[in-house]
A and B are shown apart, each in its own frame.
Chain A
Amino acid sequence: MAETFSVKKYLRDLRLPFCPGCGAFTVMDAFLRAVYELGYKDLSKFVFCSGIGCSSWIPSPYFMADSIHTLHGRSIPVATGVKLMRPDLNVVVFGGDGDIVGIGLSHFVHAARRNLDVLVIMVNNMVYGMTGGQVAPTTPFGAKTTTTPYGSFEYPLDAARLAVTAGANYVARWTTAHRNELKEAIKKALMLKGFRFIEAVSQCPTAFGRRVGFKNAAEMVRWFKENSIPLEQAEKLNEEDLTAKIIVGEFVQRQRPTLTETVYIKIKEAQKNGQN
């Protein structure tokens, strides 16, 4: 490639809102590099939908693209409406763990079940960061947050496995310590069809890390690296060995017919055979 990659090509000239050390920078960078390496000169073939939370700010309004910044938890329904009426566009959803598998969980499961043609990138920082660090459906058992000052008494949700069970065509999980793997997964997902889900485990040094004993963002990322276990290896381990570990890799890749394909086949049939 003759020209070199620059995120600026794809961004509006605005100051990014993230705290120093935030994992959102890494995810944004991975996504834009993936887009660049796939040969997209701009984002005109994309529509971005996001909800409420720090990572929902990754595309909106920073990407020089069409973006719909929706209500908390409702990015997937809005993406559903967009994709069904414009099947030609690449619809990508960005959101946090609270947005996608907390308040928006039902939409996530149903979109995967329907095999809706969207790519959902969930930045999992294990906490509600924007509101200052409250317990999330992904917070590790026992972790202290502002609403679990004595430690969380709930078990975290495995969003990647849930997406597989629900019917997604592609599911992968990486962390911000796996920049290249993350970028490659996004590239792959962008070339596939149907419901594609990428979970990017990410650091929130501001609202989470410092409360659970990390000095800074770098320490958190290092911890991710040291405690990530590839899926193939994890399958040979028992539950105890996997406590406080992050299972990374590609969870599924399949080619079920997608929602828009099926819907438009039915529309064609109805137009041909339909009677009023």
Chain B
Amino acid sequence: MEFVKPGVYFWQGSEACAEAAILAGCRFFAGYPITPATEIAEHLARRLPQVGGVAFQVEDELASIGAVVGASWAGAKAMTATSGPGFSLMQEGIGYAFMTETPCVIVDVQRAGPSTGQATKCGQGDVMQSRWGTHGDYAAVVLSPNSVEEMFTLTIRAFNLAEKYRTPVILLSDEVVAHMREKVIVPPLEELEIINRRKPKPGDKAFFGLEEVPPMPSVGDGFNVAVTGSTHDEYGIRFTADPLVHRRLVERLNEKIQNHVDEIADLERYNVEDCDIGLVAYGCTSRALYDVVEEAKAEGVMVGYVRLRTLWPFPEKAIKKLAEAAGKILVPEMNLRQIFYEVQRAAEGRAKVIPINKIGGGELITPEELLSKILEEAGRSG
């Protein structure tokens, strides 16, 4: 059997991610064992060869991202999966993929850091790293699934965005979402939207400019493509001292993402125009939203939320709107304030932004904890 058949599955998040990658067209995986991301590598090691793909365990995460970049230039859709420490090691390579416009997907299954931290326990401490991890000016595309179903749909979306914009895309998962089991509905293949990179026409020479997203040749296709992480012109030729060439390149690379925030930044909204209290959440933490909204309503407090399915580029407009409606915005996160600051910035003082933070032992922020904070901020407590 090759592809997973359409139907209803009871999958682990990692499994959903791996199967989605195959359906999205991924044919190369390189990775290094790390908790809690190893299951993705194990699943793909078994499944990719069955569809003619290569799954390969390399010596470290520097090699993982390097091999993924090489495979992508060889024409394959390619992916790696890791967690905090490995994600740190990959940062230079992610910057290289950005600078060379190499489509690829990097899954970071977040655990509690810093450093080795609590390897088996959930955390959401890599949010800012996923945005600013590599050096220099760059634009990150980071997706945040909150269910096993979204491990499936957002993995496909990650490949689509990577191919469409020729850029690395990070699927920022977490230990809870990647390890739990839930129902996933796999639609028929023809119902899935799959985007493939635009290939050049014979005679094309500009693979690094002239257009917002230039066409991408593969090595061996006869285009004599020169790929470099140094500043280069639209033909791939290095210009390491020319201010204009650098400006033109790096500004375009950033703008090709920033100019499409509305398309890339996907979110779920509820009651944002008519609420007393707003909530902004993502990943495992956002799973508490659904219960809380109902429970608060029963107490007479109208809650609206923005649930971020894309963390970066940051959907400023949606947050601003929420801030206009709600006097207060609560931001629960399993870290010591990361997206909080971004929400505060986007709110531009229109609402009071209040952080709710909890770290350690993989303990989630419970609906009860959220509700009591909501009632407290709404003046209903005690």
Contacts and interface: CB of A to CB of B under 8 A. Distances in A.
Interface of A: 14, 44, 47, 49, 60-61, 64-71, 73-74, 76-86, 88-89, 106-107, 110, 263, 266-267, 269-271, 274-276
26 contacts: A47-B220, A60-B226, A66-B219, A66-B220, A66-B225, A66-B226, A68-B219, A69-B228, A70-B66, A70-B229, A71-B96, A73-B62, A76-B63, A76-B66, A77-B64, A81-B67, A81-B68, A81-B74, A84-B54, A84-B74, A86-B74, A107-B62, A110-B63, A269-B49, A270-B49, A274-B1
Nearest to A113: B59
A24 to B, nearest CB: 16
A192 to B, nearest CB: 20
B28 A69 contact: no
Interface bracket on B = 35 or more
Interface string B205-247: 0000000000000111011111111100000111000000000
A68 B52 contact: no
A86 B67 CA distance: 12
A77 B63 contact: yes
A15 to B, nearest CB: 11
Nearest to A269: B49
- Determine chain B's interface SS by DSSP, over half rule: mixed
B59 A66 contact: no
Given A85-B76, A106-B60, A276 B66 contact: no
B70 A88 contact: no
B62 A74 contact: yes
Nearest to A77: B66
A73 B60 CA distance: 13
A88 B224 CA distance: 16
B220 A84 contact: no
A34 to B, nearest CB: 20
Contact of B220 (A88, A263, A270): A88
> What 5 A-B pairs come out closest when comparing CB atoms?
A81-B70, A77-B66, A270-B49, A274-B50, A81-B71
B58 A77 contact: yes
A200 B204 CA distance: 36
B49 A266 contact: yes
Contacts of B224: 64-66
Contacts of B78: 81
A73 B96 CA distance: 13
Given A61-B228, A85-B75, 9 more contacts: A44-B220, A49-B70, A69-B226, A71-B96, A78-B73, A85-B74, A267-B54, A271-B51, A276-B4
Contacts of A86: 74-75, 218-220
A76 B30 CA distance: 14
B62 A84 contact: no
B73 A82 contact: yes
B33 interface: no
A267 B62 contact: no
A102 to B, nearest CB: 14
Question: Which interface residue of A69, A81, A263, A270 has the most chain B CB atoms within 10 A?
Answer: A81
Question: Which interface residue of A83, A89, A276 has the most chain B CB atoms within 10 A?
Answer: A276
A276 B68 contact: no
Contacts of A269: 49
A263 B54 contact: yes
Contact of A47 (B46, B96, B219): B219
B223 A66 contact: yes
Contacts of A110: 58-59, 63
Contacts of B2: 271, 276
B290 to A, nearest CB: 32
Nearest to B50: A274
B27 interface: yes
A49 B227 CA distance: 9
Nearest to B225: A66
Nearest to A104: B62
